[in-house]
């Protein structure tokens, strides 16, 4: 079935991301990862069982948000030309999301894991801002 002529687009528009650029920023993932690390540090400094329980719950929620923000960048912002120019980008995202997940910050109370996560996000952020210059 064909569309009536008045429903046929007259202008075709393309963008390299879902919306015109400016809506994506790795800072969202970084802020949540900073919260994860701060919670890991506070957990280590406090022996109160109720506090520690709440800290674990909040840390896991923040870690899940880190993964979400990274996935949005990975799937919605970065496109094939970026992955061609930066061949390690897929690996960086894989490592970062795993560091945010159960095998990483979500499942760990060690602030060093939070530091590792922040390091991966920083590597992604550098590439992100390089792509914005192009």
Domain assignment present for residue 14? The answer is no
> What pTM, to 2 d.p., does this model score?
0.83
High-pLDDT (> 90) share of the chain, %: 80
pLDDT tens profile 57-96: 999 999 999 999 999 999 999 999 999 999 999 999 999 9
Question: Stretch 102-113: mean pLDDT, rounded?
Answer: 95
Q: Report the CATH number that the domain containing residue 74 is assigned in CATH.
A: 1.20.120.400
Q: Which helix (H) or strand (E) is 126 found in, with range? A: helix 111-133
Q: Domain containing 104: what range?
A: 23-133
Looking at every residue in the chain, the average pLDDT score rounds to 90
pLDDT at position 31, please? 98
What CA–CA distance (Å, rounded) separates 11 from 55?
52
Three-state SS string across 66-125, please? HHHHHHHHHHHHCCHHHHHHCCCHHHHHHHHHHHHCCCCHHHCCCHHHHHHHHHHHHHHH
Residue 1 confidence (pLDDT) above 90: no
Query: Does 18 reside within a domain?
Result: no
Q: Confirm whether 11 is domain-assigned.
A: no
- Angle, CA of 99, 92 and 83, to the nearest 5°: 150
Total structural domains in the chain?
1
CB neighbour list of residue 131: distance below 8 Å, 6 or more residues apart: 78, 82
């Amino acid at each position: 079935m064909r569309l009536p002529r008045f429903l046929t687009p007259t202008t075709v528009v393309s963008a390299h991301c879902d919306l015109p650029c400016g809506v994506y920023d790795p800072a969202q993932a970084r802020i949540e990862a900073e919260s994860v690390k701060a919670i890991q540090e506070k957990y280590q400094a406090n022996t109160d069982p109720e506090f520690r329980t709440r800290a674990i719950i909040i840390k896991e929620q923040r870690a899940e948000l880190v993964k979400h923000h990274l996935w949005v960048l990975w799937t919605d912002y970065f496109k094939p030309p970026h992955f061609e120019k930066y061949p390690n980008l897929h690996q960086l995202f894989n490592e970062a999301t795993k560091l945010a997940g159960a095998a990483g910050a979500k499942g760990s109370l060690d602030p060093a894991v939070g530091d590792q996560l922040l390091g991966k996000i920083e590597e992604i952020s550098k590439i992100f801002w390089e792509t914005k210059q192009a």
